[in-house]
Every structure is written in C-alpha cells, then in structure tokens.
C-alpha cells in the first residue's frame, strides 16, 4: 500500500479589520467565550462533559444566546475538549498529586476561557478569497463579507494549495489573526545523503554551517541588549501600564526572532537539499546546564531560541525530504576537525580555533560545524533514523 504522509503546518495570517469590523470581531469572540464559560459551568454542575451530552443539554440554548449552528457546535466541542484535556492533565499528574491542594483546586471548579480565547471557524463560517486578500466570516452581527488580510506570498501560496477548512480566530497584542491548518505532503526522504551539513549554533553568529554559511547575530544581539535593559527598567517601575508595555515589547521581540529563525532555517535546508546532503544538529537537550559562559553572554544565549531554530530546520527539512540527525554536542568546540585532537587550549579565544597537535587554524564556529557534520555522518552510518519533533509548526 502506498501512503503519502503529511506534515501539518499552521499558517498565521494577519487580519486588517476596519474599526467597525474590529468591534464586531471583538463582540463575536466575547460572545463565543461567554457562551463557552456558561456551558462549562452547566457541564460541571451536571457532571457530564462529553460532546454528545453537552449537545443534548445546551445546543438549543446556545443558539438562543445568538450563536448560529456551526459556532454553537464549535463552542460545544471547545468545552468538551477542555474537560478532556483537564482530565488527562489530572491523570498524568501535571496538576499535582491526587489529594494535593493544587489538584483539588483544579478538579473542584469548572474550566474557564479568557474573553479573547481563540475560536475555531470551519468553512461554513469562513471563506477565503485569497486572490483579493479578503475573507468572509460569520459574526454575531451577521456575515462580515470583506475582511482584509495580509501575509507573505509564501503563506498565501500554502493556504491556496493546502488549507484544510478549519481556522482559529484569535487576538494577540491588539492584533487579529486567523490560524489556518494546512496539511502538506512531504517529499520522499533522501535515504542516501551525500554527506551532512553541520549546524553550529552560537551567539556572535546565530548559526554557522559546514557548508560555509554564517548567519550573523550582530544586529539581533544589539536589539537583545537594548531589549533587556528596557525590560528591567519596566520591571522596576512595576505599574500596570509598564507591565502592558513590557508584554507588548516581548511579543515584538519574539516575532523578530521567529522571522530570523525562519529565514536562517530556510537557507540551511535549501542548501542541504540542493547538494543532496542531510543536516546534523547538536542535541541541545540540557544546553542550559552545559554552557558555562561569562554572565552577559549567558543572558543572551538564554534569550535566544536555538530550540526554535532547530525545530524550524527539522520541519522544513522533513518537507524537503532532507534527513536530519541529532549528534552528541560534547567537545564539538574543542575538537580539531582535521586530526580530532581534543584540547581546551585549542580555543585561544572565542573566535579562533588553533589545534595544539597539528597546527590547523580555522574560525572556531566553522571548525565546530565540521565536527558536527562528521558526527552527523557517523550517526547516520550507524543506522540512526531521521527524526523530527512531533508537533505542529506555525508559520
């Protein structure tokens, strides 16, 4: 049997509502979440939380509260799913041990939704007209026919080709978004890679590859330092508006980092695909414990999402059929990529690698990336499989 496997991607599209449209969206999200909260209480009181039970209990009333058929069903599902998740969390012990205070507190009250919690819309309540860059969407004050949207060409192309019919409406930092799920067939895996591209994550350079590419972090680091100063200033202030500002700021910073991680991962995967190679990444589980740096650098390293970069690379690689392996990161920066002599003194400075044994001299990050590439090859040759984290990626 021939099966095509699919990669799930969530495409995040920004909406550009007029002030009146924004009000209607706001009203809609609020109405859905108020209904969800109302239903959550009733479900709790009745001790029944399955979707079927909730539908029998409250469908008519949800409609009487102003939700049309599909939104009412989505609210039912949202509440039923939230109780299922709560039960799973209680069972898994992630809310404390049975009979603990925290467990008791979580189990003793109905689930609750924020006034702006995301709400799913299916293709009966939402239709895309991507050529015109608008959507038409159900609201509590009627169908909104011409809601403008914006996105990168790549995002819109994904939506046009692969959108699966259900999207979440959400508001974040005062902006409106639709999160649309796309299922994309992945390219057949290259099972005979012609070597590996090693990726060395760093601070001065966010990533250096054994293919010779270097992605500078200078501009970001400058931002990062300024961001950190502003954050601690706002923290000291501690007022409500300072907190709000800090939150908005953190959101902007995360988006900037995400954009850059997208660009870097795209380049790295394209290079590996073009040269028919796999990609070797350091297994960074536990990097925080492992890395010992001077304090300012430590602050910067922690605020940078290497994990996100690795995830993006793994996903894009999977879509492109490029194998990815994770290697042991121990001593990658102290090992000579030519003679494999390992010595701390091989690193006279942060930037320079100079082998004590054979005299090989190289940019330190580049030397590390060659070690990672070599280890990638050995890992693959030993029979390691290409691994990709099992979560849904948002682009």
> Under the criterion CB under 5 A, does residue 187 sit at the interface with Zn ion?
no
Residue appearing with tokens 């205070």: 101
Residue 238 CB, nearest approach to Zn ion (Å): 54
Residue 148 CB, nearest approach to Zn ion (Å): 59
Nearer of residues 25 and 336 to Zn ion, judged by Cβ: 336
Nearer of residues 103 and 360 to Zn ion, judged by Cβ: 360
Residue 205 CB, nearest approach to Zn ion (Å): 22
d(CA 2, CA 326): 28
Q: What are phi and psi of 26, to 5 degrees?
A: -60, -50
Residue 354 CB, nearest approach to Zn ion (Å): 9
Helices 19-46/51-64 angle, 10° precision: 130
> Under the criterion CB under 5 A, does residue 374 sit at the interface with Zn ion?
no
Nearer of residues 353 and 380 to Zn ion, judged by Cβ: 353
Nearer of residues 157 and 358 to Zn ion, judged by Cβ: 358
**Which of these, 352, 216, 207, 331, lies nearest to 279 by C-alpha position?**
207
Nearer of residues 77 and 341 to Zn ion, judged by Cβ: 341
Q: What are phi and psi of 57, to 5 degrees?
A: -70, -40
Nearer of residues 14 and 341 to Zn ion, judged by Cβ: 341
- What is the total count of residues that contact Zn ion (CB under 5 A)? 8
The contact mask relative to Zn ion for 314-343 (x = CB under 5 A, - = no) is ----------------------x-xx-x--
Stretch that binds Zn ion, among 113-121, 276-284, 356-364, 383-391 (CB under 5 A): 356-364
Residue 346 CB, nearest approach to Zn ion (Å): 8
b/e map 299-320, b = 16+ CB within 10 Å: ebbebbbbebbbbbbbbbbbbb
Stretch that binds Zn ion, among 147-155, 239-247, 354-362, 382-390 (CB under 5 A): 354-362
Total Cβ atoms within 10 A of residue 74: 21
Q: Is beta strand 163-172 parallel, antiparallel or unpaired with respect to 134-139?
A: unpaired
Exposed, middle or buried by CB within 10 Å (0-12, 13-18, 19+), for 55?
Answer: middle
Q: What are phi and psi of 186, to 5 degrees?
A: -90, 150
Residue 208 CB, nearest approach to Zn ion (Å): 19
Residue 342 CB, nearest approach to Zn ion (Å): 10
Nearer of residues 39 and 355 to Zn ion, judged by Cβ: 355
> Under the criterion CB under 5 A, does residue 360 sit at the interface with Zn ion?
yes
The answer to whether the beta carbons of residues 261 and 309 sit under 8 Å apart is yes
Nearer of residues 311 and 371 to Zn ion, judged by Cβ: 371
The answer to whether the beta carbons of residues 72 and 153 sit under 8 Å apart is no
Nearer of residues 235 and 330 to Zn ion, judged by Cβ: 330
Residue 335 CB, nearest approach to Zn ion (Å): 9
Helix (H) or strand (E) holding 308: helix 306-320
Nearer of residues 307 and 347 to Zn ion, judged by Cβ: 347
Could you say which of 54, 355, 364, 373 contacts Zn ion (CB under 5 A)? 355
Beta-carbon contacts of residue 81 (< 8 Å; ≥ 6 apart): none
Nearer of residues 227 and 362 to Zn ion, judged by Cβ: 362
d(CA 165, CA 293): 48
Residue 378 CB, nearest approach to Zn ion (Å): 18
Site for Zn ion in 296-315 (CB under 5 A): none
d(CA 58, CA 153): 42
Could you say which of 254, 352, 358, 361 contacts Zn ion (CB under 5 A)? 358
Residue 330 CB, nearest approach to Zn ion (Å): 17
b/e map 150-187, b = 16+ CB within 10 Å: ebeeebbebbeebbeeebbbbbeeeebbbbbbbeeebe
Adjacent-strand bridge partners of 300 = none
Residue 357 CB, nearest approach to Zn ion (Å): 5
Please give the residue ranges that form the binding site for Zn ion (CB under 5 A): 336, 338-339, 341, 355, 357-358, 360
């Amino acid at each position: 049997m021939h099966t095509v496997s699919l990669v799930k991607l969530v495409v995040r599209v920004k909406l550009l509502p007029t002030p009146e449209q924004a009000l209607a969206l706001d009203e809609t999200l609020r109405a859905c979440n108020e209904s969800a909260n109302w239903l959550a209480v009733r479900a709790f009181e009745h001790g029944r939380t399955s979707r079927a039970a909730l539908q029998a209990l409250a469908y008519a009333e949800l409609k009487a509260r102003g939700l049309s058929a599909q939104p009412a069903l989505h609210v039912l599902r949202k509440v039923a799913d939230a109780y299922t998740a709560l039960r799973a969390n209680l069972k898994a012990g992630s809310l404390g041990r049975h009979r603990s205070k925290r467990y008791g507190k979580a189990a003793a009250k109905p689930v609750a939704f924020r006034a702006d919690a995301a709400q799913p819309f299916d293709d009966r309540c939402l239709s895309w007209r991507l050529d015109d860059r608008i959507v038409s969407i159900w609201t509590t004050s009627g169908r909104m026919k011409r809601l403008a949207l914006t996105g990168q060409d790549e995002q819109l192309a994904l939506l046009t080709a692969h959108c699966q019919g259900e999207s979440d409406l959400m508001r974040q930092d005062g902006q409106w978004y639709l999160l649309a799920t796309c299922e994309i067939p992945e390219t057949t895996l290259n099972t005979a890679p012609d070597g590996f591209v090693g990726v060395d994550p760093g601070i001065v350079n966010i990533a250096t590859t054994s293919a010779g590419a270097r992605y500078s972090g200078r501009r970001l680091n400058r931002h990062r330092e300024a961001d950190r100063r502003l954050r601690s200033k706002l923290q000291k202030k501690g007022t409500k508006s300072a907190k709000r500002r800090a939150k908005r700021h953190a959101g902007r910073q995360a988006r900037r980092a995400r954009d850059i991680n997208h660009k870097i991962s795209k380049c790295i995967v394209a290079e590996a695909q073009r040269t028919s190679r796999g990609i070797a990444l350091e297994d960074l589980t536990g990097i925080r414990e492992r890395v010992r740096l001077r304090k300012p650098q430590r602050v910067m390293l922690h605020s940078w999402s290497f994990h996100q970069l690795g995830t993006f690379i793994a996903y894009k690689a999977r879509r492109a059929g490029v194998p990815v392996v994770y290697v042991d990161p121990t001593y990658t920066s102290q090992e000579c990529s030519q003679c494999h002599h390992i010595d701390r003194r091989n690193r006279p400075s942060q930037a320079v690698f100079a082998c004590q044994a054979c005299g090989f001299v190289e940019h330190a990050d580049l030397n590390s990336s060659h070690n990672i590439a070599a280890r990638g090859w050995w890992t693959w040759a030993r029979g390691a499989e290409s691994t990709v984290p099992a979560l849904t990626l948002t682009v």
